[in-house]
């Protein structure tokens, strides 16, 4: 994905469902002059998502779509994205599955962050399963979103060692820290030479 020299930043929407620490981190990153993205919109299926407070503080437009009727909500979201000229979606802890149709119709790229070394441990409860299986390593992955869950082309991964005394919670905290470094790096990589 290229930007022409001197062009303005890429309009980006972040989709969240909860804490939104990755969202917050992406907003901070986007404020850097060198960052290729501008965050214009945050979408959530959960009106109580903690991350929305941050959006309010930073005056980023926020919209709630509960996803009770996915196809209706996605139609509305696609319209909004078009109107706001959004060309990049960053999923960051968004707990709803985006439809094949949405992926096909969206005129841009969709990225996701997953807290494991994909293709291992797709889906939920990754840290618990990693510890149960006594894995020596885990990590996080930034990948393109396709219609197959957590299976799109990998952009970047960060591997970390799992300690003997790691609990799922401890591991999640360690990996979250790495996620915050990895998402901006992956975006920079994607728009390199632009
Ligand atoms: C992160 O671990 C991310 O990898 C996963 O959901 C979590 C979201 O955390 N998809 P936060 O809401 O960004 O703090």
Beta bridge partners of 143: 112, 154
CB 141 less than 6 A from any atom of ligand 1: no
Per-position DSSP letters for 136-171, written without gaps between them: SEEEEEEEE--SSTT-SPEEEEEEEEPPTT--HHHH
Mutate to test the pocket of ligand 1, among 14, 171, 176, 181 (most ligand atoms within 8 A of CB): 176
Ligand 1 centroid to residue 112 C-alpha, Å:
10
Phi, psi of 130 (to 5 degrees): -60, -45
Would strands 37-44 and 61-64 be described as parallel, antiparallel, or unpaired? parallel
Which residue carries 């990225």 as its tokens?
A: 111
Ligand 1 centroid to residue 162 C-alpha, Å:
18
User: Which ligand 1 atom is at minimum distance from the Cα of 175?
Assistant: 2
CB 20 less than 6 A from any atom of ligand 1: yes
CB 139 less than 6 A from any atom of ligand 1: no
Ligand 1 centroid to residue 20 C-alpha, Å:
7
pLDDT tens for the chain, 194 residues long, are: 555 444 689 999 999 999 999 999 999 999 999 999 999 999 999 999 999 999 999 999 999 999 999 999 999 999 999 999 999 999 999 999 999 999 999 999 999 999 999 999 999 999 999 999 999 999 999 999 999 888 999 999 999 999 999 999 999 999 999 999 999 999 999 997 55
In this prediction the pTM is: 0.95
Ligand 1 centroid to residue 7 C-alpha, Å:
31
What pLDDT was estimated at residue 192? 73
What pLDDT was estimated at residue 30? 97
Catalogue the active-site residues. Answer: 114
CA–CA separation, 94 and 90 (whole Å) = 9
């Amino acid at each position: 994905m290229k930007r022409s020299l001197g062009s303005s930043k890429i309009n980006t929407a972040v989709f969240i469902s909860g804490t939104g620490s990755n969202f917050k981190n992406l907003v901070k990153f986007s404020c850097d002059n060198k960052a290729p993205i501008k965050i214009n919109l945050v979408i959530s299926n959960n009106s109580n998502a903690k991350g929305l407070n941050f959006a309010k503080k930073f005056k980023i437009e926020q919209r709630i779509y509960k996803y009770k009727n996915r196809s209706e909500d996605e139609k509305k979201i696609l319209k909004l994205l078009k109107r706001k000229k959004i060309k990049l979606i960053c999923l960051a802890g968004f707990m709803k599955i985006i439809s094949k149709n949405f992926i096909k119709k969206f005129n841009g790229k969709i990225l996701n962050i997953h807290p494991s070394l994909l293709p291992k441990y797709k889906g939920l409860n990754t840290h618990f399963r990693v510890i149960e299986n006594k894995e020596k390593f885990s990590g996080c992955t930034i990948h393109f979103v396709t219609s197959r869950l957590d299976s799109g082309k990998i952009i970047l991964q960060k591997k970390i060692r799992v300690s003997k005394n790691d609990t799922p919670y401890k591991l999640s905290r360690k990996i979250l820290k790495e996620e915050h470094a990895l998402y901006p790096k992956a975006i920079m990589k994607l728009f390199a030479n632009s």
